[in-house]
Amino acid sequence: MLLTSILCVPFVVGLLCLFARPRGRVEFLNIAGFVSVLVLGVKLFKTVVANNGNAVTEWGEFLRADALSAWMVLLISVVSLATSLYAVGYFRRDLADAAVTERRFREFYVLTPLFATGMFLVVLANNLGVMWIAVEGTALSSVLLVALYNRKTSLEAAWKYVMLGGLGLVLALFGTIFTYAAAIGKTGAETMPSFNWSRLCGMAPQLDHHLMTLAFIFVMVGYGTKAGLAPMHTWLPDAHSEAPSPTSAMLSGVSLKIALYALLRFHILTTACLGSGFSRNLLLGFGLFSMLLAGPFILLQKNLKRMLAYSSLEHVGLICVAVGINAPLTVFGALLHMGYHALTKPVLFFAAGNVHQQFHTLDFRRLGGGLVRTMPVTALLLGLAAVAVSGLPPFGLFVSELTILVGGFTSHHVGVSVVILAALIAVFCGVLNKLARLLLGPGNGQYPRETISVSNVVAMSLPLGTLLLFTVWLPDSVRQLMEQAANIIRGMP
Amino acid sequence: MNLQPATLLVASLCGYGIGAVAGLLFMRRERLANALSFGVASLSALSGLLAALLFLSSGAGTPAPQFELLPSLIPSIKFTVRLDGLGAFFLLIVSMLGFALSIYSLGYAKGYFGRKNVGALGAFFNALLLATTLMFVADNIWLFLITWELMALTAYCLVSFEHEQPETRDAGVLYFIMSHIDAGCILLGFLLLYQASGDYSFASLHDIGAQMSPGKRDAAFLLFLLGFGIKAGIVPFHIWLPVAHPVAPSNVSALMSGVIIKTGIYGLTRVCFDFLGTPPLWWGVTVLTVGTISAVLGVLYALMEHDLKRLLAYHSIENIGIILMGLGAALIFLHTGHPLLATLGLIAGMYHTINHASFKGLLFLGAGAVLHATHTRNMEEMGGLVKRMPQTAFFFLVGAVAISALPPLNGFVSEWLTYQALLQGFGTTESLIRLIFPLSGAMLALTGALAAACFVKAFGITFLAQPRSEHARHAHEVAPSMRFGMAVLTVACVLLGLFPTAFIRLLDPLTQQLTGQQLSAQVSLADGLVLASLTEKAGTVSTLGIVLMFVCLLPIPFGLWLVFAQNSKTRRGLTWACGQPGLTPQMEYTATGFSKPIRMIFKALFRPRRDVQREYDFSPHFAKKLRFESHVEEVFVRRIYRPLRILILLVSRRIRALQAGSIHAYLLYIFVTLLLLLLFAL
Amino acid sequence: MNPPTSETGSQLITLLASLMLMMQLLLVVQRMLVTNIRIFALQSLLLAAIATVVGYVYGAWHVYAVAVLTLVGKVIFLPWLLERLVRRIKIEQEILPFVNMPASMLICGALTVLSYAVARPITSLERVGSNTLAVAIALLLTGFFLMINRRKAVTQVLALLTMENGVMLAAIALTTYGMPLVVEIGIFFDVVVAVMVLGILVFRIRETFASMDVSKLNELKW
Amino acid sequence: MNLELPAILAQTALLLLLAPLLSGLIKNWKAKLQNRRGSRIWQPYFDLLKFLRKDMVISEHASWVFSVTPYVLFLTALSAGLMVPMVTAQAPMSLFGGALALVGLLALGRFFLALAGLDPASAFGGMGSSREMTISAIAEPAMMLAIFTVAITAGSTNLSQIVLASQGPGWKFLDPSHAMAFAAMFIVLLAETGRIPVDNPATHLELTMIHEAMLLEYSGRYLALIEWGVSIKQLVLMALLANIFFPVGLAADTTTAAFGLGLLFLVMKLIVLAGAVVWVETTNAKLRLFRVPDLLSAAFILATLALVSTFLFR
């Protein structure tokens, strides 16, 4: 019942929020829901580790959680919890400023749990078709969140998001159907083949190679769009910058990785089927391209949240490259990186949200500088998270990036590693250049000193604290889980 | 109590940690934060100093203490610390400077009270010392890289401390970008080494170069040279240095110039002498050439400065060049199979490293004191400070004499050793390449003479003559703690200058570790009074002897006074001003004027831009107002960095145009991607 | 177990599929919005017909369900919804597309050829009809092109839906039985919800921008 | 350890006494060549005595640096002189430093003199300091290279060792490299001692003076000390030039005859050198300040050629 309850809790919370009356109760429901999901997620992770990496299944293999899924569940629940915590202070202030209406407020609290449910379903569904449906569900629930403010720009962003995302999903569906078709007639009897990933994986070598190649191309472009890989990433900065900050955090923190997860499932299947590096090389290529493309955009960026979005593009690219290299260390590093990035990015978006609520703009030039003076708490947390996201110690992204590089070097992907490093440095330079000028400086005296709610500070410092904790102390069980997940990705269950 | 170096080292590291935390905790109570963080830092530095001295003086045979600082929590990351000869030597440098600076800071930070967050300053200061100290004793790639990055991060925070000034923010950004690039290069270099060794510990990397293919070994060397070179500020990667060092608080400038850029030297020494094995000839030649160019250009650009701290920063480039000359010579000798000479070169480089730390630290502290007193870094607004802050002036003068490589102070000793290494190198090989030795020696001479010229300017314009501004007129002597900090380094300069043989004995563990030789016995003559270069025949010098000579000869002038000048009187009078009454400060020579001959001689390099504006009253012959501006822009900025920056921005702008907001274009990208992939799969 | 009528059925399916492709080409050249919507409805109807034929010929009952869902959803409900939308926002005609008609036709032709080339190695896997898969891929690619070429939000939605038709055609052609019913229904509902969401957005865009021209949505860049 | 007290005392005395004589000699000869009668060659001694007895006026702006400088200048010149073989091959203080220390000591004196030029806040002093430091800076590499050429041949930087090596086998008298190095050194000598064509020791015109500009504020016994120090420096440099390039007649043992012979040779060599200096001073005009680098770079090129030829001919 574990998997079912992980799905049900946020779903029920979302439905309840439709009807719950005082606003406080809605907020409480969300937080409570995500806390319990987190508890369930931890339980799942423990179960999987205790199972020695064997998958937990429910409903006759309809729901299935192996180490990879369990890891993703953990990420989703942590980010959702942080988001729901942050949203309290954020929307209270927005309501006070009349930036959102009561209706939009409720819309957020209903859609966010549904969004989370969709993501949980993506990672827990065994059936590839259901997985697709769930991804589409996350897209649809998040579109309205992106358009929540109903500004011109947010509508534009939402439109681009839904059109490009929808297009990507159609392509992904095409690929999914091809995958399904590749299995027909290969199991002997002319019966309905199973659409379950685990079953397909088991018979992977017998799948039709041509179809699988085509399927992976469509899936790559399709889910790649959703995961924000360049050159299909164009919706990403728009959506991330226009969504309310809690939603941006969800989008960047986990939503991208969920699409990537779907992609990875197909990658595992394709590699097992073709036995060649076809999908690996595609991942590598798209990943590198994404990483390289992020640099120029960050260098000339004018908008804080867009800059963060491009940084996400870079990190997703890095994860892809790491998986594409396919060395034990790089895949391990990629998973580690997913986790660390999921803990870091929301904090950055939360901080950007605070900045926006204070100054009503995200334009670097209009913001000027001197955030350390005008908003010391936000500036501190933003600075720390920026240090983390730039891959500097003492935060974990340094470790994961270095792990990936070491893996790349030892598996004779020296050139790729050098490009990775160059891209990382380029992005670092851009981010530093922008944030140093934003954070430092004499400050603008005409704004009132920042008022920051406790929940806000907690929501921002909790992920950072967790990040720091897991940097210096990675429990054995977590490591085991990641190693098992890495083995799954590398096709060695 | 039996004190072990390891215990003292741990105490020192913990101390810095406590100092950092204390600074943060008591942020709101700045006096307490100041006293606690810098007080604890000075004690920690003292402990580190003791640890280094204990280890270094225990002789070359002592096994290096090695221990785990923290249990390993993430697989493959080990916090192994090992205090070997090289590490201990640099620990000595950082602790010596750390001690002096911490005490100095107690007074210096008072200038920030009520204005800036002194607690944060103390915290970052401690953190920087912690990271640097740990970096010097790291025995593992991971720990090294982590501390390396932390060092860059904390140094960035300190450079940007006075971030209200736009130039400070820009400088910080430039500094951090360059440090990140150097970290990237170093990382790649280490990855290449790791590829060959398969282990992260430094022990496993020892002589790993022998197992690498020549191509990879050369690549690793170049990467390290680039990475550590950027950190050390070699030309042409030095552009961050004269920008970043001056804008930091002066105690931090001193630390950056004294220690942080030395981390590059540390890394290069560690890598070249410990890891990469017997070097090919061109490594040494490259290092020597780079060093020579850095030295000459560094001092030339220093001469053009009239910002006191920028001037000092350029001198750091010069001195790094001199250090590299010693190291480069040593690398050549390693190649030609002359370990003794290599050791001499290494000693010259190391000696100059600690010397530079002491006198450059001292000079920056002096500059800080001047800044504290006059609130300006512009030399043209100073003058006459020798009467208003006599002790600071004295300390600064000692530093100036030392950095100009004048006997009997420490700068002279290390440059003497460098000369000796270079001269003896001539005989080590028959190939034409040996001409490089005397030629770099000549350039070293040029450097030394230009440095002397520069410090005549720096000291003369800043401290002597009449005050050139109201600020300078109202200057006052600085707090006792600041003077004490300077005094510590002054004493270090004098001791290092007068007792070179004793100090070289401390270098025995280092040379034993890196080249397998110990020179302390060979270079010491007459019970250590005289320093010889390997043999007595090749050349000797005794700074202490020179001082003794001075003392012995001093009776001559005094005897003359007694005999002839008993009745002569001394009185104060006006300075000759061509008979005009009223000598004004405007008549004094300025810093810009002082360096004009040099500027004119090296016009081709400097390309000075002059801007003269005259305002006339009634006759074109009598100008009412005259405004003169002269700018010198660095050739590398002009020719490389600015075009590069423009190019990057241009390319970025082009790329950015791909994403101009049209959803149709976006769809097209996906479409084309899909089609390409489909065609590819056909 | 193949029924004897499979040969005829196969031919019928091929015919219907090629008709679908023709509808697609008509869409490419047609600029009236309402007509576009009706052509799409017709195309969906053809899809439903194919599903019925498959269901009948192969005796796969749940493919009927697909046919019914398509009929209800894509032939009736969605066109109705879109037409209502178009009428409410009072825009009838597409403004000039980026590529003119003859060039569009040429491109679509090229895309169809490409589709055949792509589908060639896997035609042997087709269960129903011949070259149905190629048609499906062609539908997808031309739909994609349509989406790029058109400026109006509603046409873009339509293009997306035709692509979806192509996907469903591929599903039927490749798998005989369609996919598991749960998946089919899920996909169907997702599509419907997607169109409703799109509708909401189109409406809001129309309200805010006083235009439905998506090429004017270019405030967000870089 | 060759720290023999008599030798030290003797050489100190020699330096102190011979230096003014050398200056006087040059002045006198120069005057003669210019068809003037000129001052007596003993005149510098009388000047020094007079300066010593005079009262001093020190600028009100000057600081302790101004007062310290005469001592530093005097002591550095004297100490440097003790490291140079003059009469005996073994200089009394040669263990305490060789060519490098000598250059360093002279530079120390110059450093302080330049500071003292800036100290009294006069425009002239600063001008002199600036020019002096510039010229010495560009003279230094040439000097070092010339010294290196000799040092490399002898395998030592120790001046006594160089002289001793020259008396051993394998030493070619005035081989091409040494000739060029000598020429370079001679130019440097002119620059370092403030002679025409680099500087005019007899001028007080602000446009041309270099060395004198720094001394402008000195008077009385400080001036005496400085003048004496400067002349000692001149003597030291000329003795250096004479003895390392023409190492003949230096006393190798401690007999009186050897000493006498050595002294005789030294005086002769100095007379020849002084003659050369006088000849150059009389036949040349002073160069413009910004032409001086050309001269000194010529010296540098000569020294480089010397070095290259060492490489070629060995």
pLDDT at D1: 41
Are B678 and C114 a contacting pair at CB < 8 A?
A: yes
Can you tell me the mean pLDDT for D61-74? Answer: 94
Which residue of B lies nearest to C118 if distances are taken between CA atoms? B682
Residue D51, both tokens: 């300066």
Cβ atoms D197, D287 nearer than 8 A: yes
CA count, 13 A, side-chain hemisphere, A467? 36
Which residues 6+ apart lie within 8 Å of D32 measured at CB?
D38
Are B663 and C222 a contacting pair at CB < 8 A?
A: no
C90: nearest Cα among C157, C152, C156, C162: C152
Three-state DSSP state, C3: coil
Are C98 and B664 a contacting pair at CB < 8 A?
A: yes
Q: Could you tell me how many CB contacts below 8 A there are between chain B and chain D?
A: 289
Residue B280, both tokens: 């090919």
Which residue of A lies nearest to C173 if distances are taken between CA atoms? A181
Residues 640-659 of B with CB under 8 A from C: 656, 659
Residue D235, both tokens: 């003597």
Residues 28-47 of C with CB under 8 A from A: none
Question: Residue C148 is nearest to which of B656, B660, B667, comparing CB atoms?
Answer: B667
Cα distance between residue B366 and residue B358, in whole Å = 12
Three-state DSSP state, D251: strand
Question: Residue C217 is nearest to which of B663, B671, B678, comparing CB atoms?
Answer: B663
Question: Touch between chain D and chain A (3+ CB pairs, < 8 Å)?
Answer: no
Q: Is B222 on the interface with A (CB under 8 A)?
A: no
Q: Is B28 on the interface with A (CB under 8 A)?
A: no
pLDDT at B335: 93
pLDDT at D314: 55
Q: Which of B119-128, B656-665, C58-67 is the least confident region? A: C58-67
Cβ atoms A124, A63 nearer than 8 A: yes
**Chain segment A219-256, per-residue pLDDT in tens:** 999 999 999 998 999 999 999 999 999 999 999 999 99
Q: Is B187 on the interface with A (CB under 8 A)?
A: yes
pLDDT at B619: 76
Chain A residues lying within 8 Å of B76, measured CB to CB: 403
Q: Which of B103-107, B260-264, B484-488, D90-94 is the least confident region? A: D90-94
Burial B570-603 (b: 16+ CB within 10 A, else e): eeeeebbeeeeeebebebbbbbbbbbbbbbebbe
Question: Residue C160 is nearest to which of A129, A152, A170, comparing CB atoms?
Answer: A170
pLDDT band per the 50, 70, 90 thresholds, residue C60: confident
Q: Is B392 on the interface with D (CB under 8 A)?
A: no
Which of the other chains make 3 or more beta carbon contacts under 8 angstroms with chain A?
B, C
By DSSP bridging, strand B80-82 and strand B66-68 are: antiparallel
Which of the other chains make 3 or more beta carbon contacts under 8 angstroms with chain D?
B
Q: Is A232 on the interface with B (CB under 8 A)?
A: yes
Query: DSSP characters for B622-680?
Result: SEEEEEEEEE---HHIIIIIHHHHHHHHHHHHHHHTT-SS-HHHHHHHHHHHHHHHHHH
Which residue of C lies nearest to B679 if distances are taken between CA atoms? C118
pLDDT at A408 over 60: yes
For residue D253, is it within any domain? yes
Are C220 and A153 a contacting pair at CB < 8 A?
A: yes
C167: nearest Cα among B526, A174, B461, A272: A174
Q: Is B4 on the interface with C (CB under 8 A)?
A: no
pLDDT band per the 50, 70, 90 thresholds, residue C3: very low
Residues 327-386 of A with CB under 8 A from B: 369, 372
Average pLDDT, chain A: 91
Q: Is B678 on the interface with C (CB under 8 A)?
A: yes
The CA distances from residue A29 to A17, A59, B291, D66, in Å, are: 7, 27, 67, 83
User: How many Å lie between the alpha carbon of A299 and the closest alpha carbon of chain B?
Assistant: 8
Q: Is C34 on the interface with B (CB under 8 A)?
A: no
Q: Which of A232-241, A320-329, C182-191 is the least confident region? A: C182-191
The CA distances from residue D42 to B277, B564, D26, D45, D49, in Å, are: 66, 18, 11, 6, 11
pLDDT at B161 over 60: yes
- Measured distance between the N- and C-terminal CA atoms of chain B, rounded to whole angstroms: 80
- Sorted by where each begins, the domain ranges of chain B are 1-195, 609-659
Which one has a higher pLDDT value, D69 or C157?
A: D69
The share of chain B scoring above pLDDT 90, in percent, equals 71
Omega before residue D92 within 30° of 0, cis: no
Are B681 and A225 a contacting pair at CB < 8 A?
A: no
Three-state DSSP state, B520: coil
By DSSP bridging, strand B535-541 and strand B570-573 are: unpaired
Are A137 and C190 a contacting pair at CB < 8 A?
A: yes
Q: Is B663 on the interface with C (CB under 8 A)?
A: yes
Helix H or strand E encompassing C125: none
Cα distance between residue B419 and residue B424, in whole Å = 8
Cα distance between residue B20 and residue B260, in whole Å = 18
Which residues 6+ apart lie within 8 Å of B368 measured at CB?
B104, B108, B249, B250, B251, B253, B254, B482
Task: Tabulate helix, strand, coil % of chain C (nearest 5).
Answer: 80, 0, 20
Are A297 and B655 a contacting pair at CB < 8 A?
A: yes
B621 exposure class (CB count in 10 Å sphere: 0-12, 13-18, 19+): exposed
Q: Which residue has the tokens 């978006």?
A: A349
Can you tell me the mean pLDDT for D152-177? Answer: 80
- Sorted by where each begins, the domain ranges of chain A are 2-489
Question: Residue B677 is nearest to which of A221, A300, A409, comparing CB atoms?
Answer: A221
B68: nearest Cα among B143, B18, B132, B3: B143
Q: Is A184 on the interface with C (CB under 8 A)?
A: yes
Cβ atoms within 10 A of the Cβ of B457, count? 32
Q: Is B521 on the interface with C (CB under 8 A)?
A: no
What is the total count of domains within chain D?
A: 1
Cα distance between residue A125 and residue A72, in whole Å = 12
Can you tell me the mean pLDDT for A132-160? Answer: 91
pLDDT band per the 50, 70, 90 thresholds, residue A189: very low
Cβ atoms within 10 A of the Cβ of C215, count? 16
pLDDT at A215 over 80: yes
A405: nearest Cα among D261, C27, D309, B187: B187
Task: Tell which of B79, B117, B140, B149 to mutate to test the A interface (max A CBs under 10 Å).
Answer: B149
Cα distance between residue A340 and residue A334, in whole Å = 10
Cα distance between residue A132 and residue A84, in whole Å = 26
Cβ atoms A119, A138 nearer than 8 A: yes
Cβ atoms A77, A7 nearer than 8 A: no
Q: What is the DSSP letter of C75?
A: I
If phi > 0 it is left, if psi is from -120 to 50 it is alpha, else beta; for residue D38 that is left
Residue A275, both tokens: 């036995």
Three-state DSSP state, B566: coil
Cβ atoms A263, A89 nearer than 8 A: no
pLDDT at C1: 39
pLDDT at B533 over 90: no
Cβ atoms B462, B385 nearer than 8 A: yes
Residue C178, both tokens: 């369609």
Residues 87-126 of C with CB under 8 A from B: 98, 114, 117-118
Which one has a higher pLDDT value, C186 or B284?
A: B284
Q: What is the 3-state secondary structure (H, E, C) of C149-205?
A: HCCEHHHHHHHHHHHHHHHHHHHHHHHCCCCCHHHHHHHHHHHHHHHHHHHHHHHHH
- B441, amino acid identity: G
Which residues 6+ apart lie within 8 Å of C168 measured at CB?
C47, C66, C70
Cβ atoms within 10 A of the Cβ of B165, count? 14
Which one has a higher pLDDT value, A449 or B221?
A: B221
Task: Tabulate helix, strand, coil % of chain A (nearest 5).
Answer: 80, 0, 20
Cα distance between residue A243 and residue A252, in whole Å = 11
pLDDT band per the 50, 70, 90 thresholds, residue B39: very high
**Chain segment B387-397, per-residue pLDDT in tens:** 999 999 999 99
For residue D291, is it within any domain? no
Cα distance between residue D70 and residue B234, in whole Å = 39
Question: Residue B600 is nearest to which of D58, D142, D290, comparing CB atoms?
Answer: D290
- The C-alpha angle with vertex B565 and arms to B564 and B571, in degrees rounded to 5, equals 165
Which of the other chains make 3 or more beta carbon contacts under 8 angstroms with chain B?
A, C, D
